[in-house]
Amino acid sequence: MDLETIRDFALSFKESSEGFPFDSDTLVFKVAGKMFLLVSLEYNPIKMSLKHLPEKGLDYREQYSSVEGAYHMNKTHWSSVVLDGSIDWETLRSWIQDSHDLVVSSLPKYKQKELRGDA
C-alpha cells in the first residue's frame, strides 16, 4: 500500500485536511479539525494509526499480526497498522472509512449533517 493511495482516499472526505502538527514524520488527517488518521512516515514500511470502537481494536489485533495499539494514543480507541501488504486495500479502506465516520459521529449534530450532506 502506498502513501498516495491512502492520502487520496483520506482527502476525499468532505472537510478533510492534512498536516504535520507534531513533527515532520507524522502526517495527520483531520475532519472538522479532529484527527481520524495518522501516517508515520519514519517507518519502512509505513505505519498508519486509526480510531475504532474498542471491541473492533481487539478483534483487529487478534486477527492481524501487523496491528497493534497505537503509540502515544489511547490504545483502547486507536490502533497502528504496519502497511506490509498483509492486509488488503479494501480492508484498510473500510477501516479508514470507519475511523472517519466514528470521528464525525462525535461532532455536534449540525456539523454531522453538514458533513453528510443532510443540511
Model confidence over 69-94: pLDDT tens digits?
888 888 889 999 999 999 999 999 99
Q: Which residue has the cell 514500511?
A: 45
CATH number assigned to the domain comprising residue 65: 3.90.1150.30
pLDDT in tens, the chain (119 residues): 789 999 999 999 999 999 999 999 999 999 999 999 999 999 899 999 999 999 998 899 999 999 998 888 888 899 999 999 999 999 999 999 999 999 999 999 999 999 987 75
| pLDDT (0 to 100) of residue 119 | 55
Distance CA 52, CA 3 (A): 21
Q: For residue 13, what is the DSSP state?
A: S
This prediction's pTM: 0.92
The answer to whether the beta carbons of residues 81 and 71 sit under 8 Å apart is no
Where in the sequence is the domain holding 58, given as residue range(s)? 3-116
> Alpha carbon of 40 to those of 45, 49, 71, 114, 116: distances in Å?
9, 8, 10, 30, 28
Three-state DSSP state, 73:
coil
Structural domain count of the chain: 1
Strand 47-51: give its sheet, edge to edge: 16-19, 26-31, 34-40, 47-51, 78-82, 67-69
- Look up cell 483487529; give the residue: 60
